[in-house]
Amino acid sequence: MDSHAEETCELCGRSPLATTVHHLTPREEGGSSLPTARLCRACHRQLHALFTNRDLVTAGLTTLEALRQNPQMAAYLKWIRKQPPGAEPKLRKSRHVRGKR
Ligand SMILES: [Zn+2]
Ligand SMILES: [Zn+2]
């Protein structure tokens, strides 16, 4: 477990928990010097389970606001906000992403 668990997730807003850095525009898509967000592990994993790096760019999901408004993420966020910060929910992986790995 991460010992540094005093942060707030910028997507679901839960705290305190450990966050990881998400490149809002994936580095593979030229986003290495563009804004990042601090996301909890659950949000980060869910995000990358739903979308490929390419999807994030082509669908314009490169801001926190756009991510919150995406129907799939909105449904997830509505649910995760009710979960305690320490929860490690099971992923609901989309077939779309799985096929590309
Ligand atoms: Zn989160
Ligand atoms: Zn990420």
CA of 19 to the centre of ligand 1 (A): 8
CA of 82 to the centre of ligand 2 (A): 22
Give the closest residue to 56 by CA, choosing from 23, 99, 81, 93: 23
CA of 12 to the centre of ligand 1 (A): 4
Question: Which ligand sits nearest to residue 62's alpha carbon?
Answer: 2
Q: What is the pTM of this model?
A: 0.82
pLDDT digits (tens, 9 = 90+) for 19-51: 999 999 999 999 999 999 999 999 999 999 999
Neighbours of ion ligand 2 (CB under 5 A): 22
Q: Where do the structural domains in the chain lie, given as residue ranges?
A: 19-98
